[in-house]
Amino acid sequence: MEEVKYSERINEKLYIRKLPSGLTCYILPKKGYVEKQAVVAVNYGSIDTSFTVNGKDLRHPDGTAHFMEHKLFEDEEKNIYDCFSKQGAFINAFTNQTSTAYYFTCIDNFDINFRLLLEMVRKPYFTDENVAKEMDIIDQEIKMYKDNPYWRAYFNMLGRMYESSPVGREIAGTVESIQEINKEILYEAYDAFYRPSNMAVICIGDIEPEKIFEMSAELIPERETPELKRHYGSHGEGIEDREIRDKMSLSLPMYSLGYKDRIQKGSIVDRITSSRVLLEAVFGDSTDLYGTLYNEGVIDPSFSYEYGGGPFYGVLVFSGVSKNPERFRDRVMEETARIRKEGLSTERFERILKKMEGRFIRHFNVIDQLATAQVDMFSKGTDLFELLESYLSVKAGDCERRVGELFQEENMVFSVVE
């Protein structure tokens, strides 16, 4: 099954083909571009710890998906990093809550590097020895994150928001949970999730789509598809304690102010775009509110905001450093209450919408941002062009409705590292 999407607005084509194996390929040709990037994405992230395969219930330790990401760079015969380096490619990977992605960037030797990437992902090599060796490396990584005040504020907030769901747990797991991981668990997870129908190939650059399809079909062959059902626990529960405080050696407090999105109807892509436009319109650096808070020292250049989510959850979060994080929290509540009552300025909304559209369209010139965005869209069952169309169709009423849905005090968690 193949689909070719064309956007007249940006004069770009996206080739989408689902191969007989079930693997989905997304190819975005960029004629004349020097840099090329290829990604193998898997719909398997840190939240996928409890599942049923062919009628057998399994519960894996927190951090298994991230551990798997590390171990797929292991090969019995060669050093994976050296192989890519010799071909002039930079290779890396990441795991988030819903996805694991392996990618390389290169200028030359794309076909060789692409073959290396697909062979790496399709041939796991786990032993007692290499798993034990990786344990120490990931142990240090977890401790490093614990020393990061932003990370601690964010996951303290998320953990309080989703106490009974894997969404609230740290992506790499804990020092204790990774001790339970062994080669049998890794092979079990690989067999359940690393199957073509749960994976995608994403390629962007001056490349030929048909060649990518052929190589992908050759190197990622059909495999038996198990009956898989994922279990995510209770994620719609109320929030018992909406404030959490921690302490580290800091010159100023670090905060994460989060709102749990309880609305799960409709398109997740539309929820994302309307929420992000709303955030820019109300809290962006061109607003009077931003200027006032900045001049008062309530926010500084570290201030950021984002809305994101997965198949059953959504989180809006503000983060930053502040000498008075409580003042920031109160101003958010005041401003959103005002908008619920008065609505958004039509003129300002239209100006911000054009700004957001332009920013997103400019991303089509940045290959790694496009690839990462398509990984995220694949985990949501869609693609970059649907995301673009959603941005082009956002209305002020959509954003005003999101204010009422999101900014309720009972949905809020305030996390501060003092």
Residue 238 lies in a domain: no
- Which of 120-129, 164-173, 207-216, 345-354 is the least confident region? 345-354
Whether 111 and 194 map to the same domain: the answer is yes
Average pLDDT over residues 365-369: 91
* CB burial of residue 31 (10 Å; 0-12, 13-18, 19+): exposed
pLDDT value at 263 more than 80: no
Average pLDDT over residues 177-186: 97
pLDDT value at 148 more than 90: yes
Q: Is 218 a catalytic residue?
A: no
Between residues 362 and 87, which one has the greater pLDDT?
87
Show Cβ contacts of residue 79 under 8 Å, excluding neighbours closer than 6 positions.
none
The number of domains in the chain is 2
**310: pLDDT confidence band, cut at 50, 70 and 90?**
confident
Whether 159 and 211 map to the same domain: the answer is yes
pLDDT value at 236 more than 80: no
Whether 170 and 251 map to the same domain: the answer is no
Last residue of a domain, one of 231, 266, 284: 231
Whether 258 and 140 map to the same domain: the answer is no
CA distance 44 to 69: 10
Whether 348 and 278 map to the same domain: the answer is yes
pLDDT value at 267 more than 90: no
Whether 255 and 213 map to the same domain: the answer is no
Last residue of a domain, one of 206, 231, 256: 231
**266: pLDDT confidence band, cut at 50, 70 and 90?**
confident
**240: pLDDT confidence band, cut at 50, 70 and 90?**
confident
pLDDT value at 99 more than 80: yes
Whether 210 and 252 map to the same domain: the answer is no
Which CATH number does the domain housing residue 286 bear?
Answer: 3.30.830.10
Whether 148 and 294 map to the same domain: the answer is no
**Residue 334 near residue 348 (C-beta atoms within 8 A):** no
Whether 197 and 270 map to the same domain: the answer is no
Q: What is the mean pLDDT of the chain?
A: 93
Show Cβ contacts of residue 367 under 8 Å, excluding neighbours closer than 6 positions.
30, 33, 35, 36, 37, 105, 204, 205
CA distance from start to end of the chain: 54
Whether 197 and 259 map to the same domain: the answer is no
What is the CB neighbour count within 10 angstroms for residue 378? 24
Domain encompassing residue 320? 243-417
Whether 248 and 222 map to the same domain: the answer is no
Active-site residue among 12, 35, 69, 405? 69
Last residue of a domain, one of 175, 199, 231: 231
Whether 227 and 79 map to the same domain: the answer is yes
- The confidence score (pLDDT) of residue 356 equals 85
Show Cβ contacts of residue 260 under 8 Å, excluding neighbours closer than 6 positions.
161, 162, 239, 313, 314, 315, 411, 412, 413
